[in-house]
Chains A and B, each alone.
Chain A
Amino acid sequence: MSVLRQAARVAWKDLRIELRSREILYTMAFFAGLLVVVYAFAFPRDERAVRGAAPGMLWVAIAFAGTIGLGRAFDRERENDTMRALLLAPVPRLAVFLGKAISIALLVLAVAAVCTPLLVLFLGAPLFTHPGPLVLVILLGVIGFSVVGSVFAATLLKVRSRDVLLPVILYPLLIPLFVAGTKTTMALISTPADFHAVWYWIQFLGIYDAVFLVLSVWTFESLVIE
């Protein structure tokens, strides 16, 4: 319980800072919105083409906007060496990791909540046909992204070329997650919806999240201590 309470404290601190500055959220949402606008001009508004491309567009927007947020959220911890202060606190370092991951997950979810309706609006993508499973798959995908992303963003905090290295290291590990997210979304908007495939990929995402959560919890402390 103490771990969760302290994780919530760290997450609330991040959200409080973000609510005050709105710097990360606006940047992420603007970038994701811009991607959707580019897609709207670049792709034909043919129903079949949109059904085939919209799931990929959604997950690419989440990945790119999420990476921007991830980098900036950890950059903030560098500015006054506050990451050192967090790691020095007498709380399990797992709480620091979970707190950062939770706050990033909430920011990425907010971005997904912006760019999903925009895809529907600009491209006419039928993403809201089955909203329940769509919310579940986005939630699982965002959890996986935040968990893996937080570990690497924290590890690269003191590396000079971290902005370049973060996506280079992160994306190969996230490929299975984005493939699963795209496949699930595609199965959801196909006519008729392929719930067998949806269930398969949701299970895959659940396992992915569980495996990387365990690995991250296991390695976080040894990765952030020099």
Chain B
Amino acid sequence: MAALDQVQIKKLTKRYGSERALGGVSLELTAGKMCALLGHNGAGKTTLLGILSTLVRQNDGVVSYRSNGNEVTGEAVRREIGMLAHASLCYGELTAHENLELVAGLYGVDGSKAALATLLDRVGLDAKARDRVARTYSRGMLQRLALARALLTRPSLLLLDEPFTGLDRDGALALGEQLGVLRDGGAIVVVVTHDLEAIADRTDHVAILRRGQLVFEDRGSYSYEKLKDLYHSHAN
């Protein structure tokens, strides 16, 4: 396994028919940093995440994934990507254990009962709920399972698309804390969100998109007030 330590995005362009979703976006993501990708709906954030996840093909531009200076491609890249989105990416008719066993099998990681139980303890999924099918879970429980799913594969590139949607305040703050732990563990974390409070003081890198263009980029930690000011002055 080659953990990714750098992702270079160069002049990325994506069009859907005559609509331009991204117009020449360049960005560099590095290990141990959390990048907040901000912007209004339709700014191109989800498209950029889609391209980073290898599930959307760009029309122009290059994304290169690197590990110790070597380029990584194909399945080796996908092995390193973890995804957490508004949708749980979990099967409603399977239990928490069965969902995680499936992922462990597909990724070739330890899917033993003990390993899964430890992971579910870590994300705080109620022990009684683990043998119930996931469609009976509350939104918060489902998001904990989704987080367990993302953590199981020990990703070095974690892509998050509105992960705080539907979570209560405590749930959002707990998730924000987990993301901080991952970032401190050396992962590249990219988070697309409108919930600036949940990511305040955790981001090391802020990028703001407007109508498919990168209109602001800076590295550093940002308080909630500062993030809000930045967002309002650049995203509009």
User: Footprint of B on A, CB under 8 Å?
Assistant: 6, 9, 13, 16-17, 20-21, 76, 79-82, 84-92, 225-226
Contact = CB atoms under 8 A, between A and B. Distances in A.
Contacts of B103: 85, 89
A226 B57 CA distance: 6
Given A84-B55, A88-B53, A90-B78, A21 B93 contact: yes
A80 B83 contact: no
Contacts of B106: 6, 9, 86, 89-91
* Interface range for B: 20 to 34
Contacts of B83: 84-85, 88
A87 B107 CA distance: 12
B87 to A, nearest CB: 4
B107 A90 contact: yes
A225 B14 CA distance: 13
B94 interface: yes
A222 to B, nearest CB: 8
Nearest to B74: A90
Given A84-B55, A90-B78, A90-B79, A20 B133 contact: yes
Contacts of A81: 85, 87-89
A225 B55 CA distance: 5
Given A9-B105, A16-B94, A87-B55, A92 B75 contact: yes
13 contacts: A6-B106, A9-B105, A13-B102, A17-B93, A84-B55, A84-B89, A85-B83, A85-B89, A86-B106, A88-B83, A91-B106, A225-B56, A226-B55
Nearest to A19: B93
Contacts of B105: 6, 9
A79 B75 contact: no
A226 B53 CA distance: 12
A80 B89 contact: yes
Contacts of A21: 93
B141 to A, nearest CB: 13
Interface in B105-140: 105-108, 133
Contacts of B50: 226
B56 A80 contact: no
Contacts of A76: 91, 93
B54 interface: yes
A90 B92 contact: no
